[in-house]
Amino acid sequence: MHISQAFATRSPEGSEGPDAGRFRARRPARGRAAAALTAAVAFALVLTGCGGGGGGDSAPKSAGSAADADRVEPLAAPPAPKLPVTVDSADGAKVTIGSTDRIVPLTGSLSEIVFTLGFAKQVVARDITATFEQAEKLPVVTRAHDVSAESVLSLKPTIVLADTTTGPAEAIDQIRDAGIPLLVVEPAKELADVGRRIDTVAEALGVPSAGTELKERTESRIAAVQKSIPDHADGEKPRVAFLYLRGSASVYLLGGAESGASSLLEAAGAVDAGKESGLDKDFTAITSEALAKAAPDAILVMSKGLASVDGMDGLVKIPGIAETPAGMDRRVVSIDDGVLLNYGPRTDRVLTEIVEQLYAKGGTGQ
């Protein structure tokens, strides 16, 4: 969620990845080079428009088809909200919600939770990062990742959901000043955040029991996927580097400990090569030296990013890639931008795709 909504506050899911908020939350505290890098990534995100069965089934669902990846799976029973409720907002405010008749979620990952809880008919708008099929016909209330307060207010919402990466701050203030209940939710950065986010949204919508059901369903499916991970014959975990690529904007970045992908890779039985090589922040520009130190056995990318460099053939032309074990074996794991870093009800599908591609005989991209 990761690389989600980076541009919206000029400060991980967009989806670009639905939550391009990871970049968006990064404020200029790292000097001119970091500011320039963030600006380049934000620009790339704007160019691409990028960036969370039955209810009790714990079996992992296959994520192999585009149709699966582009749809959410609502709970079987429609919710019956018990309102009003007063909840704590992540920005320190207390928010009282009296109606869920008209909901506006301002990130793709929050939209995913709302739809999966069963509130599809009540959602009246979407953020550009809500890329799944059920949301695609809703009006977009963001401009290049910035929230348009006027567009939101014109839809007369009864509740607006945002997270700490949503912006600009002036738009958030304008919505609140109009008397609209607006709840800010802490963004998700790892698997451990999935249940918390679901609980927070469900409580705000007056359906805590549905939230518990969805959290348990999601966590059990993630656990089931992890049980399917094959043993490593040599006892060594595969090293996987997460690369953020936007060839049209010449943005080529290697993910580190704060990229948002580490938790997924570790859950898939792999080592985050960038993190393990000593990259303790989010992203750094790709260099031959950094790649040699990371020495990945496989490369994780977003599907739009891979397409932007003309696929595997173009990927190995990026300096340093061809010399890594991953480049030599042409081993790449490609996941849809709209779900990769979402950390929400579809995370089990993401994990399934990573496991299937990572441990496929011969790897992908051959």
Provide the greatest CA pair distance for the chain. Answer: 61
| Per-residue model confidence as pLDDT tens digits over 10-34 | 333 344 443 444 444 333 333 444 4
Cis omega (within 30 of 0) on the bond before 74? no
Q: Which residues pair with 40 in a beta bridge?
A: none
Query: How many Å apart are CA 347 and CA 73, to the nearest integer?
Result: 12
* Single-letter amino acid code for the residue at 85: V
* Single-letter amino acid code for the residue at 93: A
Rounded to two decimals, the pTM is: 0.81
| Residue 306 · residue 337 · CB < 8 Å | no
pLDDT computed for residue 8 by the predictor: 31
Q: What averages of pLDDT result for each successive group of 10 residues across the chain (366 residues)?
A: 36 39 38 43 39 32 46 90 97 97 96 97 94 94 88 98 93 97 94 95 98 97 94 86 95 95 96 96 95 97 96 96 97 92 94 94 46
pLDDT computed for residue 235 by the predictor: 76
| Per-residue model confidence as pLDDT tens digits over 230-281 | 987 777 899 999 999 999 899 999 999 999 999 999 999 999 999 999 999 9
The per-residue b/e assignment along 61-76, b for 16 or more CB within 10 angstroms, e otherwise, is: bebeeeebbbbbbbbe
User: In the numeric block, which tokens belong to residue 209?
Assistant: 């029991």
CA dihedral 147→150→151→153, nearest 10 degrees, is: 110
* Single-letter amino acid code for the residue at 115: F
| Residue 284 · residue 254 · CB < 8 Å | yes
Looking at residue 310, the DSSP 8-state letter turns out to be T
